[in-house]
Amino acid sequence: GQQLNQSPQSMFIQEGEDVSMNCTSSSIFNTWLWYKQDPGEGPVLLIALYKAGELTSNGRLTAQFGITRKDSFLNISASIPSDVGIYFCAGLRGGADGLTFGKGTHLIIQP
């Protein structure tokens, strides 16, 4: 089955740095979602994108829905220790379909 190509696989950064990660696909999605997962917990929705070209912010997080509908990126500005975790992109073709996930970006922040 198809999965999204998410990169980078892991990031080691200093506290206060900005972070950027992205997802690409060979096919079109109508909705892009970004989740964060902490150890031992389920994914928590951060940002949802519904229109090609849409740029959406949630606090220090900014995400964009690529104009081709085949990609999305997530930026985190001024990282803090609680940003540590695994970030997943997910694409949705139809409203009630299951999500197609990327393999995740593991964010590690060094104080």
Partner 1 sequence: DAGITQSPRHKVTETGTPVTLRCHQTENHRYMYWYRQDPGHGLRLIHYSYGVKDTDKGEVSDGYSVSRSKTEDFLLTLESATSSQTSVYFCATLAGQEQFFGPGTRLTVL
Chain residues binding partner 1 by CB under 8 A are 1, 3, 6, 31, 33, 35, 40-45, 48, 50, 88, 90, 92, 95-96, 98-99, 101-104
Q: How far is the CB of 40 from partner 1 (least distance, A)?
A: 8
Closest CB to partner 1 among 59 and 111? 59
Closest CB to partner 1 among 28 and 78? 28
Q: How far is the CB of 71 from partner 1 (least distance, A)?
A: 17
Backbone angles phi, psi at 2, to 5 degrees: -80, 140
In terms of Cα–Cα distance, which of 27, 32, 38 is closest to 1?
Answer: 27
Closest CB to partner 1 among 18 and 38? 38
Q: How far is the CB of 14 from partner 1 (least distance, A)?
A: 27
How far is Cα 44 from Cα 38, in angstroms, rounded to an integer? 9
Q: How far is the CB of 110 from partner 1 (least distance, A)?
A: 23
How far is Cα 103 from Cα 88, in angstroms, rounded to an integer? 7
Closest CB to partner 1 among 73 and 88? 88
